[in-house]
Structure 1
Amino acid sequence: MAEYHYDVVIIGAGPAGEGAAMNAAKKGKKVAVVEDKKMVGGNCTHWGTIPSKALRHAVKQIIQFNTNPMFREIGEPRWFSFPQVLKSAEKVIAKQVKLRTEFYGRNRVSVYTGKAQFVDEHTLDVMQGVQANTRLTADEFVIATGSSPWRPKSIDFNHPRIYDSDTILNLEHTPRTIIIYGAGVIGCEYASIFSGLGVKVDLIHPGDRLLNFLDDEISDALSYHLRDKGALIRHSEQFSSVEANERHVTMTMVSGKKVKADAFLWAAGRSGNTGGLGLENVGLETNSRGQVDVDGEYRTAVPHVYAIGDVIGWPALASAAYDQGRAAAAIISSPEEFRFVDEVPTGIYTIPEISSVGKNERQLTEEKIPYEVGQAFFKNIARAQITGEGVGMLKILFHRQTLELLGIHCFGDQAAEIVHIGQAIMNQKGEGNTLRYFVNTTFNYPTMAEAYRVAALNGLNRL
């Protein structure tokens, strides 16, 4: 068995692993990454963030084509199959993999393809892959193995009509009807995609409102737009069983109701990828969802073993994972540069998209903070009128006395981009973080960014 020593060995080549590897390598550490897939990029690139967003973009273009009167002169509304639309996502994945593979080469990071398993606290074996029978020893380890859909044993995920958020990308036909169980971020995003393709969606949700961490007004707007596209949303329903035959899938709920459709998508929770890692050989345990506990510096119970990204749970976002990776590498090589990753903006790529940063109205009310609201509706913004994207709004929550920004909530086209202007101002110190910035700054016209000026004036007029 070949044996090699490194300063840092990272398990997983998704955003978290990549962030850690690049930062550690740039700080002069000798770094290796073990990845069990043939290509780097992790779930983010191959099964999650990138393909689903590319898919969503294609669906948005189809909706535009089918609803814009200008295109009516070209021809009748078109019907697009799911596999056709997926092809556009594959091109993006290939570009991302090429780019990310170059990062590892340029920074002299060794990538071992295979499954990692701890032998002891400083030793790791690479099994099953191209570089099987390799033993790596290191001073520090970083677990960045990500997560995968949690699968209840009672559901037959091998059935050709039953999917989870990974396997849905292998869908080879376009169902006329689909049941989506779980209305978290992934469930809501796929409900948007399928209803945008004209598929009748049954969205079944164990909770009492969609994405209850969002501002109530934004959550209500999402419900309205999903229903407007023909989705049926059922709240407070738990699944009892899912049965499938050659023709359809039937889901029975605890309440006794049954729903039937051509396909079924399970989108209820994810588990940390820690099975087979040999964590017991280093004295580490996971919770019931396969996640690893860490402290405020991303250390596990074993001080030289770190964990980052989806495998530690919340917020389980690619954006946060990349920063957590950089932060863990900072602790290892230059502790003065460390920052704990919090205040992460949410970006939810439904149609229309949603993004927010800071507190929502419910939190501020519970904390008895005297806040006021400034709103700008996109239907009144010139740029949105030009692009035909009039759905949505920007909402600024600010302190009544100090005018300090407390929360930015955005719903509509490009929300995930727009929110960053508010985020930048919220992070200024002292006087810089107030509503006055938006009133005293000249914005390009026409732009979506101008919504900040409109919302700020609207808020000041309430005082």
Structure 2
Amino acid sequence: MAEHHYDVVVIGAGPAGEGAAMNATKHGKRVAIIEDKPTVGGNCTHWGTIPSKALRHSVKQIITFNTNQMFRDIGEPRWFSFPRVLQNAQKVIGKQVKLRTGFYARNRVDLINGRASFLDKNRIEVRGNKAIETLHFKQAIVATGSRPFLPPDVDFRHHRIYNSDSILNLSHTPRTLIIFGAGVIGSEYASIFAGLGVKVDLINPGSRILSFLDDEISDALSYHLRSNGVLIRHNEMYESVQGDDHGVVLSLKSGKRIRADAFLWCAGRSGNTDNLGLENIGLEPNNRGQLAVDKHYRTDVENIYAVGDVIGWPSLASAAYDQGRSAASDIADDEYFRFVDDVPTGIYTIPEISSVGKTEQELTEAKVPYEIGKAFFKHLARAQITGESVGMLKILFHPETKEILGIHCFGDQAAEIVHIGQAIMNQEGEANTLDYFINTTFNYPTMAEAYRVAALNGLNRIF
């Protein structure tokens, strides 16, 4: 059995693990990263963020072709199969894997393939295809990610019952689809399949779609999903999911029975902490397999950190990467450590959604006075040119100081647009006010110009 000594051992080569390993090696640490899948990138690259966003982009192109009058000279609307549209995603995944594998080689991080298990708080055993290795470490960072939570009473081996990972193996295009769970993943897939002409039933256990969003944005998404043929049912819990050779029957506790060609489960994720040997170091995950950490990403074992989806909220690739970097910064004791809590939401529905800061509900509950500035995309020249006129930008600001309290955006390029507002919100003192947008010249025509329009709209409310 081979033995090796490292300063830092990272378990998991997704965004969180990559962020941790790269930052640690830049500080001169001897680093190993352990990955149990054949290629690096984690769920983000292979089953989640990258494939679903690449899929969405292809579907958006199809929608543009099918709805833009200009393309009627070329031919009638076309319908594309789900597997055909997935091909583009596979190319992107390949590029991402090549890029990220190169990072480890170039930065002299040892990439070890196999399953990791703690022997004690300074040793990890790695079981690979051919050998078992023992790694000695000073600090370890658990970045093992998450997987779809799968209730035991649903048969996910059935060829018509899918979860948000296995849906990428779908080899046909169903005519009808039931999606259970109207969170971020369920809403994104509802948009994608509706865009492919599939009749979607979206079953929501809660009373609103994406209830953490600003009410107006959540309502707008519900409206646009419905207008694209998605049937949304709120406050529903499942009784049973039964698949046969012809389709799937979902029985709800309310007494409804719904039939479709296929069923997609998108309700919750669990941390990947089983078989990690956590009992050998005295760590116990919660009932969702997640590890508790302090404000420095340390677990209850002082030299062992945890980052990314395995610690729960916000379970975003963007946050995971920064959490990984921060854990390594804590180990290296550099000046860049931060607890990652200023995270914008990026939701890639059609149209997309992004926000940062407080919602109207939060400000109202906290009794913080605020005013609103809005810009509707249908009034922006750039949106009229691109034909992407659905959506709006909404700025929440204090009526006296004009300090920006929240940015909420719905529509094409929302996840890009939000960062302009985020940058201003993070300025000190008077630099973080509505006045920045009023006193700054924006390129015209642009989507960014929405900030100027919204700021002027807000200014009119307080004079």
Q: TM-score, normalised by structure 2?
A: 0.99
Look up the equivalent residue of 2:165 and give its one-letter code. Answer: D
Give the secondary-structure state (helix, strand or coil) at the position aligned to 2:249.
Answer: strand
Give the secondary-structure state (helix, strand or coil) at the position aligned to 1:180.
Answer: strand
Residues 112, 131 of structure 1: 8 Å contact kept: no
Residue matched to 1:65: 65
Residues 114, 130 of structure 1: 8 Å contact kept: yes
The CA distance in 2 between the partners of 1:259 and 1:278, in whole Å, is 42
Superposition deviation, residue 335 in structure 1: 4.0
Superposition deviation, residue 26 in structure 1: 0.3
Look up the equivalent residue of 2:217 and give its one-letter code. Answer: I
Deviations 1:9-51 (A, max 9, x none): 0000000000000000000000000000010000000000000
Residue matched to 1:378: 377
Residues 12, 146 of structure 1: 8 Å contact kept: yes
Residue matched to 1:300: 299
Deviations 1:404-442 (A, max 9, x none): 000000000000000000000000000100000000000
Residue matched to 2:287: 288
Give the secondary-structure state (helix, strand or coil) at the position aligned to 2:112.
Answer: strand
Residue matched to 2:27: 27
Residue matched to 1:325: 324
Residue matched to 1:312: 311
> Is it true that 1:268 corresponds to 2:287 in the alignment?
no
Residues 114, 132 of structure 1: 8 Å contact kept: no
The CA distance in 1 between the partners of 2:406 and 2:277, in whole Å, is 43
Residue matched to 2:199: 200
Residue matched to 1:12: 12
Deviations 1:116-168 (A, max 9, x none): 011111111111x3463111110000000000000000011011100000000
The more displaced of 364-373 and 349-358 is 364-373
Residue matched to 2:244: 245
Residue matched to 2:123: 123
Identity of aligned residues (%): 72
> Is it true that 1:221 corresponds to 2:220 in the alignment?
yes
Look up the equivalent residue of 1:307 and give its one-letter code. Answer: A
Q: Unaligned stretches of 5+ in structure 1?
A: none
Residue matched to 2:277: 278
Residue matched to 1:336: 335
> Is it true that 1:459 corresponds to 2:458 in the alignment?
yes
Superposition deviation, residue 337 in structure 1: 2.3
Residue matched to 2:345: 346
Q: TM-score, normalised by structure 1?
A: 0.99
Superposition deviation, residue 255 in structure 1: 1.0
Residue matched to 2:82: 82
Q: Aligned pair in 2 of structure 1 residues 116, 296: CA closer, same or farther (>3 Å)?
A: same
The CA distance in 2 between the partners of 1:368 and 1:399, in whole Å, is 12
What does 1:354-433 align with in structure 2 at a 5 Å threshold? 354-433=353-432
The CA distance in 2 between the partners of 1:383 and 1:58, in whole Å, is 22
The more displaced of 250-259 and 300-309 is 250-259
The CA distance in 2 between the partners of 1:336 and 1:208, in whole Å, is 44
The CA distance in 1 between the partners of 2:392 and 2:304, in whole Å, is 44
Residue matched to 1:188: 187
Superposition deviation, residue 343 in structure 1: 1.2
Look up the equivalent residue of 1:240 and give its one-letter code. Answer: E
Look up the equivalent residue of 2:80 and give its one-letter code. Answer: F
**4+ aligned runs moved over 2 Å, structure 1:** 129-132, 334-337
Give the secondary-structure state (helix, strand or coil) at the position aligned to 1:461.
Answer: helix
The CA distance in 2 between the partners of 1:118 and 1:131, in whole Å, is 19
Deviations 1:265-308 (A, max 9, x none): 00000000001001000000000000000000000000000000
Residues 405, 434 of structure 1: 8 Å contact kept: yes
The CA distance in 2 between the partners of 1:243 and 1:162, in whole Å, is 9
The CA distance in 2 between the partners of 1:293 and 1:421, in whole Å, is 33
The CA distance in 2 between the partners of 1:71 and 1:444, in whole Å, is 29
Deviations 1:190-224 (A, max 9, x none): 00000000000000000000000000000000000
Superposition deviation, residue 240 in structure 1: 1.0
The CA distance in 2 between the partners of 1:259 and 1:132, in whole Å, is 50
Give the secondary-structure state (helix, strand or coil) at the position aligned to 2:318.
Answer: helix
The CA distance in 1 between the partners of 2:438 and 2:130, in whole Å, is 59
Residue matched to 1:97: 97
Look up the equivalent residue of 1:27 and give its one-letter code. Answer: H
Superposition deviation, residue 256 in structure 1: 1.1
Give the secondary-structure state (helix, strand or coil) at the position aligned to 1:379.
Answer: helix
Look up the equivalent residue of 1:88 and give its one-letter code. Answer: N
The CA distance in 1 between the partners of 2:254 and 2:448, in whole Å, is 46
Give the secondary-structure state (helix, strand or coil) at the position aligned to 1:57.
Answer: helix
Superposition deviation, residue 336 in structure 1: 3.1
The more displaced of 168-177 and 249-258 is 249-258
The CA distance in 2 between the partners of 1:274 and 1:90, in whole Å, is 28
Look up the equivalent residue of 1:323 and give its one-letter code. Answer: D
The CA distance in 2 between the partners of 1:164 and 1:42, in whole Å, is 17
The CA distance in 2 between the partners of 1:188 and 1:337, in whole Å, is 35
The more displaced of 130-139 and 152-161 is 130-139
The CA distance in 1 between the partners of 2:223 and 2:244, in whole Å, is 33
Look up the equivalent residue of 2:98 and give its one-letter code. Answer: K
Residues 113, 131 of structure 1: 8 Å contact kept: no
Give the secondary-structure state (helix, strand or coil) at the position aligned to 1:280.
Answer: helix
Look up the equivalent residue of 2:71 and give its one-letter code. Answer: F
Give the secondary-structure state (helix, strand or coil) at the position aligned to 2:461.
Answer: coil
